[in-house]
Amino acid sequence: MEKLILGVDGGNTKTDYFLFTSKGAFIDFYHGPTCSHEQFKDSYQGAYWAMKKGVEHLFKKHKLQPNDILASVFGLAGVDTPKQKTNIEKVVADIGFKNFKVVNDSFLGIKAITEKGYGVCSINGTGTSCGAIDKHGNYLQVGGIGWIVGDDAGGGYIARLAVRAVYNTAYRFGKPTSLYNIVMGMLGVSDKYFLMEAISDFIVMRRFDYMGLTLAVFSEANKGDEVAIEILESVGISCSKSAAGAIVNLDFDSPVDVVLAGSVWVKGASPVMIKAFSDALTKYSGKECRILMLNVPPATGAVIWALELAAGAFPDLEKRQEIIETVSKHLTAAGVE
């Protein structure tokens, strides 16, 4: 039997399993539901059954067992702490895999598009985190568990800053902003006397269009609204501190490849936010940094990393490009973003 590898990209809503040969030839893939332990009442046991079912859905067609896989990489949401990593490694081992890596999904962008397979990846999407791999193969995650560790980024955070800015405008000497009428309209109030009640009802009770408001912040910033610009600059600076913290706590030579991933970075593509990030990153890290936008599926990073794990060397550019094109083609054909 030809030797096979598996690359897995698992978020909080979905999991993509890609099966390739150890030479980089595509075999099959399966797009399934989440296997993140954070999404199940029975936590890691739930993750075990979800992952086992996903693997079996792919393997049964090819009469495979997990021990047939030469190398596998699992980039998963919810692998934020050493304890979580150990627990998920046990899940993977209990399913039957032998030679594997379990990492936070924030690391996949690094393997997907950096030149040498190491660098930094700043995630700014629904939430935020930062992963880094240095030239020695050491890796470090900064943030990813919430506001208490400075995760001041992500779409929901931007929307909340917009609401705060409007409340400040109404009552706390905040600057005038074009976001005022937008937020008031979204909350369904015309009199600021009812603003706090509306915030309580809609925001606290989680009945609010965060995505719509986040997009409004980008739109108003592009039109020159000072408050919207300041919100995006603050998010860029916050992300830069996590990325720079990862850089100085590992061993990097200049220039450092820094990948921007997640919907807020990629789909927002705000020049204001990216410039604030880039300027502050250089300031805090003390190194020249090369900014790269992740415009390929993160699953490509899992496949490339599994190929590296199997071969003992980072694949060359031609092979990486083949994998990127193959993964992208199959996800697009399946209607997966």
Q: What is the mean pLDDT of each run of 10 residues along the chain (337 residues)?
A: 91 91 95 89 93 94 94 94 95 96 95 96 92 96 93 94 97 98 94 94 74 94 97 98 98 97 89 97 97 95 97 95 95 83
**What number of CA atoms fall less than 13 Å from residue 134's CA on the CB side?**
17
Domain extents in the chain: 4-98+296-333, 106-295
Structure token pair of residue 217: 């912040």
pLDDT at residue number 335:
81
Give the Cα separation of 300 and 8 in Å (integer).
9
Domain 4-98+296-333 in CATH 3.30.420.40: yes
Give the Cα separation of 211 and 213 in Å (integer).
5
pLDDT at residue number 337:
66
64 DSSP 8-state letter: -
Domains 4-98+296-333 and 106-295 equal at CATH topology level:
yes
pLDDT at residue number 12:
81
Give the Cα separation of 292 and 297 in Å (integer).
14
How would CATH label the architecture of 106-295? Answer: 2-Layer Sandwich (3.30)
